Amino acid sequence: MNAQNYIKLEFPARSVNEGFARAAVAAFASQLDPTLGELGDIKTAVSEAVTNAVVHAYPDKIGTVQLRLRILPDAVLEIVVKDHGVGIADVTQARAPLYTTGGEERSGMGFTIMESFMDKLRVKSVPGRGTTVTMSRRIRRRG
């Protein structure tokens, strides 16, 4: 699909960069004139995806997170969050509500939250090679 606009970013998998990712996505998405509710949903989904990469992908080192944003036809915002970390052995299990490998302090609701706030969610992962989370949301035209 031909993108009407796009950006690509890469940053260290540090929790401090989760806020940066949220802000970058919000700034890029603003060209579609989303409502505050739509923008909040998108920022929350991005937070979950980036936090998953920070917490789960690189348990013993600081790797990188790649963020790709595209504006597609019909005002669709596509967000791709990719890491080159440990990967997910069983994506179906990982997407189940309350499943976590992050210990008691993690809720296990990340993928469920992403799915509920976005129109589409796709998760691809190869153990030892990383995970790619692709989300999309159509921004409703106002007026």
Residue 130 to residue 125: CA distance in whole angstroms: 6
- Please say if 48 is a catalytic residue: yes
Residue 48 to residue 23: CA distance in whole angstroms: 14
Q: Are residues 42 and 34 in contact, defined by beta-carbon separation less than 8 angstroms?
A: yes
> Of residues 17, 22, 38, 48, which has the active-site annotation?
48
Q: Where are the beta strands (DSSP E) in 88-143?
A: 120-126, 130-138
* Sequential DSSP letters for 16-37: THHHHHHHHHHHHHGGG---HH
Q: Which tokens belong to 135?
A: 């989300």
- Please say if 106 is a catalytic residue: yes
> Of residues 95, 106, 115, 138, which has the active-site annotation?
106
Angle among Cα 65, 129, 109 to the nearest 5 degrees reads 60
> Of residues 52, 70, 78, 137, which has the active-site annotation?
52
Catalytic residues: 48, 52, 106
